[in-house]
Structure 1
């Protein structure tokens, strides 16, 4: 009981420190926007000050402007006017600089407070874990209900991790499919090229392009299997009824003729259609995974709030 009393006091103190987090975050956003405006205004005032100083210098020196006002007989009067304007510009600039300095100091203070809040949050989580471990040892109905909720929360977090891993694996797989699609598109219309007399240059380019396709296909199998494994972990499957290996075995580029080119081209076209279909399918699966991830995030947040409340309220 004494242990619970001590923990409860520490939790209450930490929660008090964290209570101002929302206000500090909002204030930081406001002060950063204010600083941006102040910096822009300072640049403008600096340009204005430089202009006013240049006007004074022009009248004080032997410039054409100074000579002009001397002839008119009102140089001193104009010089006084320019000096007043330069002084006002200097005062405005100094005031803006001071305002920016004060805003920066306020921002620094808020950042220090935010750092302390983050530390309090970390400490709160540690204290909650300690209290939770004690509560789960209690042979009471309340402890059993808490244990069940804690198990549900852990299961949701595991599910979120598995969905995230599947999503990342799917992104990598889709990137390889996109690369394969670009490579296959670059090999289209080869038959026409040879008919027009591509010759040895055509054969060399084909060899290079098909070599790139082979390498990509090799990587594609790895990423596809990895994606399927990750999906299996979350009880989902991906039906990819396509053939992406049709290009292999048709590399007789030094003996090609119109018929061989036609066969290779047909294989390339089928593989391209398959890659595009697979890319679309993977995109649909990633969309579903993204939606499911958001749903699990919401469930986790609800469970965390309820679990935290039960732990804090327990005596």
Structure 2
């Protein structure tokens, strides 16, 4: 009977721990989704405004003609198009984040409503009543100690799995950040050529091709970092700051059409700034990964000690 109770408690505790973990993730994802939807809607309004500004400037008017004769129309149009392009990129990124979070919420809701978790609270209450009855009839200090060891071991094994999941998420985030940095390295090299060596239209086109590619990798990194943060919530005593990569640091300018040293330098400085920020985030991920490795060793040692303590009690 002792062994049956112990096995049943381990089984039910494992399920309840997993259910609570999924519930925490669902709650967190729902909150993130609400925030992401607010950001997306705000950026959509901004994008609409910027597009309207471009359309207004492009329409025929005597004031526009006067500006054109004075040589300021091209400059104004270039500025409006650049602002609209940046607003479009920010909105597209926000829309991607909403889509990702909607998928996460859906997955967690399906998981929390699975048959495995459906009656776990009722099963746990029934078990506690069964356990209380047995203890009253068979009071044993030794058995109480074994149950305590069993509970601690279940908790540590659950933590072990969560550390493993966090490490996997951290490795994916690191790879995504490294790929984004590789693309920005390439774009930076072409930007130097375009800015200081007069690369021309072809080099500008190649530069923006690399920037566009880096935008996709940055989005993947953003998604991977969000997953990494979610996994870290389940790991005790691993303190980290919030990881945020803002695509505003990587946007496509319009100097491919208005090629001059000023706009090229703006692009080059933005690429350099974006690289610096991504490198900082990558270093933070690596710092937390070091903490996870230490936590993994500590947890494995804790399980080994509990196994040895249990074995000593049984064999005594």
Taking structure 1 as the reference length, what is the TM-score of the superposition? Answer: 0.52
Distance 1:238 1:252, change over 3 A: farther
The change in CA–CA distance for 1:243 and 1:164 in structure 2 (over 3 A counts) is closer
CA distance in 2, matches of 1:149, 1:180: 46
Tell me if structure 1 keeps the 8 A contact 2:194–2:264: no
Paired position in structure 1 for 2:240: 238
Number of the residue aligned with 1:188: 188
Task: Tell me, yes or no, if the aligned pair for 2:170 and 2:228 is still in contact at 8 Å.
Answer: yes
Q: Quote the residue 1:161 is aligned against.
A: 161
Consecutive unaligned residues in structure 2, runs of 5 or more:
4-130
Alignment size in residue pairs: 183
Retained in 1: the 8 A contact 2:183–2:210? yes
Is 1:170 the counterpart of 2:170? The answer is yes
Determine which of 274, 279, 291 is the counterpart of 1:288: 291
Match of 1:47 in 2: none
- Counterparts of 1:233 and 1:251, CA distance in 2: 44
CA distance in 2, matches of 1:202, 1:168: 38
| Distance change (3 Å), C-alpha of 1:137 and 1:157 | farther
Q: Which residue matches 1:297?
A: 300
User: Closer, same or farther in 2 for the Cα pair 1:240/1:267, shift >3 Å?
Assistant: farther
Provide closer, same or farther for how the CA distance between residues 225 and 242 of structure 1 changes in structure 2, counting only shifts above 3 A. Answer: closer
Q: 2:152: which partner in 1?
A: 152
* Whole-angstrom distance in 2 between the partners of 1:286 and 1:219: 19
TM-score (norm 2): 0.52
242 and 274 in structure 1: CA distance in 2 versus 1, 3 angstrom threshold: farther
Superposed, which structure 2 residues align to 1:30-109 within 5 Å? none
C-alpha separation between the residues in 2 aligned to 1:215 and 1:251?
19
Matched with 1:229 is: 230
Asked if the contact 1:183–1:209 (Cα under 8 Å) also holds between the matched residues in 2, the reply is yes
In the TM superposition, residue 187 of structure 1 has moved relative to its aligned partner by 1.6
Q: Does 1:259 align with 2:262?
A: yes
- Structure 1 residues 243 and 158, CA gap change in structure 2 (3 angstroms): closer
After superposition, the CA RMSD in angstroms is 2.8
Check whether the contact 2:193–2:199 (CA below 8 A) recurs between aligned residues.
no
Q: Which residue of 1 aligns with 2:280?
A: 277
**CA deviation vs aligned residue, 1:52-80 (integer Å, no higher than 9, x gap):** xxxxxxxxxxxxxxxxxxxxxxxxxxxxx
The answer to whether the Cα contact below 8 Å between 1:240 and 1:278 also exists between their aligned partners in 2 is: no
